[in-house]
Amino acid sequence: MDISKVYKIFETLFNDEFSMIYSGVFSNSILTPLTDLINSFMTDPSVDLKKLNKKVAYMTIENFQNILRYSETEMVKAPEKDMLLIRMLNRNIFIITVNLVRRSKADEIGSYVDKLNKLDKKELSDLYFQKLTNQAFSAKGGAGLGFIEMIRKTKNKLFYKFVPYNDEFVFFYFQIQISGKETISKDVNLLDSVSEIYNTIKGLGVNFLYKSKMAEGRLMPLINMIKDTVKSSSTDAGEDGSPQYLRNLLNISVEILQDIFITARKSELMKDAIFIYGFNPRTGNYYFLASSYVDTYMMKNKINIINRYLNKDKKTLQKIFFDSLLDDSTTDEELRFLGIFRGSSNFEYFVDFENEDKTFFVQKVEVEVSK
């Protein structure tokens, strides 16, 4: 795996105040940790978007449920997955989904969305109540009511596009926009950039991606999201119903998140970083990918620590770790990396020394699935 590819994601999402991607098994069990994580961002006093929190949560759930009801992605082989992407740009929230639908349904969906985009407020309300009165509901859901509600609540157009997959299916890209301020441009279409994001995360086997400030109040929601993502996608469960290797995954995720929180560059990026959790089908193991800008003087020390322990065997690492706990000269950063190396089956890193002040640092930690 070419871990430098994460830099493409970093560049694409660079100006986002917040980005989150979920691409895996879509089940109702994921909704709670997902909305909790969004809530931790929206209600942060430094973000000041509390008034939009309920609307964003509602729209996220509606789009999530649409994938549960209508996606045909399970009909094709991996690596194709459904994707939910949330981005915040210039106080606007964009909720974007990608899933497969049958070619035979594409024209019907497109014509219906085009029709709704042309209706005014009164016409939308009349159509909504007309459908409710007629009770025109399908076995999977409600007669396009969700699309109508999205326009009514956001006051923005719906954007979509279809990308061919094979003779039977097409990718359905769909976007809604929630405007944080009336002065911000309405009806902004981000779908052209989403195809590249989707293909990149598919190539990296990404299940979950988070990009934002690593504020302390968001660490627990992040960890819960990882935990439930693992549970939803795993069949290797212990007596308590959790994957046997879940504790190891969570321990390593905490070490990596703390490393980002403590050492990510504090100046222009304000501790902005990307954290990724995924599955490597080639090895059958889970992995974490984390990237951020680090002050160059700190990065040199970090590389020294990594190289000091990188190729040690597990038995040696175990002894060094416990000896270090009793050694007052051992730094917290050394203990973090010792903890990561002890629990991982593989560690790689990528460094781009941009200038004498800042360095782009990517670390990839692979965790072996216990049998």
pLDDT value of residue 233: 63
The pTM for the full model equals 0.87
pLDDT digit string, tens, across residues 344-371:
888 999 888 767 788 888 899 998 876 5
- Confidence at 184, pLDDT banded by 50, 70, 90: low
- In angstroms, rounded to a whole number, what is the distance separating the alpha carbons of residues 351 and 341? 18
User: How many domains, in total, are found in the chain?
Assistant: 2
pLDDT digit string, tens, across residues 205-217:
889 999 887 776 7
Q: What CATH number does the domain containing 110 carry?
A: 3.30.565
Q: Are 311 and 170 members of one domain? A: no
- Confidence at 139, pLDDT banded by 50, 70, 90: very low
Final residue before a domain boundary, out of 186, 204, 222: 204
* Domain around 134: 17-204
In the beta sheet, which residues pair with residue 343? none
Q: Are 354 and 285 members of one domain? A: yes
- In angstroms, rounded to a whole number, what is the distance separating the alpha carbons of residues 11 and 2? 16
User: What percent of the chain shows pLDDT beyond 70?
Assistant: 88
- Please give the C-alpha separations between residue 237 and each of 113, 241, 279, 354, in angstroms, as whole numbers: 42, 5, 17, 44
Q: Are 238 and 185 members of one domain? A: no
Q: How far is CA 223 from the centre of its chain?
A: 13
- Confidence at 135, pLDDT banded by 50, 70, 90: low
What's the chain's average pLDDT?
Answer: 83
Q: Which of 187, 164, 191 minimizes the C-alpha distance to 117?
A: 187
pLDDT value of residue 234: 59
Q: Are 171 and 50 members of one domain? A: yes
Please indicate, yes or no, if residue 228 is contained in any of the structural domains.
Answer: no
Q: Which of 127, 167, 173 minimizes the C-alpha distance to 149?
A: 127
- CA angle, 359 as apex, 356 and 360 as ends, to 5°? 155
- Confidence at 15, pLDDT banded by 50, 70, 90: confident
- Confidence at 240, pLDDT banded by 50, 70, 90: very low
- In angstroms, rounded to a whole number, what is the distance separating the alpha carbons of residues 304 and 73? 45
DSSP letter string, 127-176 = HHHHHHHHT---SSS-TTHHHHHHHHHH-S--EEEEEE-SSSEEEEEEEE
Please indicate, yes or no, if residue 9 is contained in any of the structural domains.
Answer: no
143-147, 233-237, 290-294, range with greatest mean pLDDT: 290-294
Final residue before a domain boundary, out of 163, 182, 204: 204
161-165, 181-185, 339-343: least confidently modelled range: 181-185
Q: How far is CA 64 from the centre of its chain?
A: 13
Q: Taking 70 as the threshold, does the pLDDT of residue 101 lie above it?
A: yes
What is the number of residues in the chain? 371
- Confidence at 282, pLDDT banded by 50, 70, 90: confident
